[in-house]
Amino acid sequence: MMTNSPTVLHPDVERVLISEADIQKRIVELAAEIDRDYEGLAPVFIGILKGSVLFLSDLLKRLSVDCRIDFMCVSSYEGDRSTGVVRLTLDLRDNIEGRDILVVEDIVDTGLTLGYLKQNLMTRKPRSLEIVSLLDKPEARKVLIEPKYRGFQIPNEFVVGYGLDFDERYRNLPYIGVLKPSTYQPQG
């Protein structure tokens, strides 16, 4: 049964940056934009695991366009994020040649991950390729990546929730929040 009870804040979360209601409202707007832009086409949404899962599923429910979904998973080499060494750990199931592609991400930070993915996907000759990202931290950018569809621009701070993790935790929070420093700083 659906309830409208207020969101209970996780004890490790210091503050909510974007509420569940604001996320859902913005997703309706993004879906309307995508429906309009892709009318008469059959785009393929590529969800980047794991962070995009909640966003992708809520976005899909709001879309009317005839669409398909597929997934990719990438990981940055441990301690090597700044060098842009990205590894593909799960590839697409289907051929995307000639298709209209929308890559769905949770957040664009340095842009290194999407820079790698875009380069990789373009070699497969899609008809078009655009990026949909729930969050954008433009201050942290190292690679020129411009999402065509962007949920929210946020300041350069570490956020969790709604798919985004810290050490694989907090992905299930329905909002975007900032953790209490005590959660990630060693005690003592």
Per-position x/- string for 26-65, each x denoting binding to ligand 5GP as judged by CB under 6 A, each - no binding: -------------------------x--------------
The one among 13, 23, 44, 112 contacting ligand 5GP by CB under 6 A: 112
Site for ligand 5GP in 131-160 (CB under 6 A): 158-160
Contact by Cβ (8 Å): 173, 160:
yes
* CA 51-55-59 angle, 5° bins: 150
Residues whose CB falls within 8 Å of the CB of residue 116, separated by 6 or more in sequence, listed in order: 74, 84, 86
Q: How far is the CB of 19 from ligand 5GP (least distance, A)?
A: 17
The token pair that represents 94 in the structure block: 């289907």
Return the range that interacts with ligand 5GP (CB under 6 A); candidates 29-37, 38-46, 92-100, 101-109.
101-109
Pick the catalytic residue: 100, 106, 109, 136? Answer: 109
Residue 90 DSSP SS3: strand
Helices 20-37 + 53-62 axis angle, to 10: 60
Active site residue 109: yes
Contact by Cβ (8 Å): 163, 53:
yes
- The verdict on 17 binding ligand 5GP (CB under 6 A) reads no
The one among 58, 106, 130, 136 contacting ligand 5GP by CB under 6 A: 106
- The verdict on 165 binding ligand 5GP (CB under 6 A) reads yes
Residue placing its CB nearer to ligand 5GP in the complex, 106 or 130:
106
Q: How far is the CB of 61 from ligand 5GP (least distance, A)?
A: 22
Per 3-state DSSP, the chain is made up of helix, strand and coil in percentages (nearest 5) of: 25, 30, 45
The token pair that represents 9 in the structure block: 């804040």
Place of tokens 């913005």: 26
Q: Residue numbers of the site for ligand 5GP (CB under 6 A)?
A: 51, 105-113, 158-160, 164-166
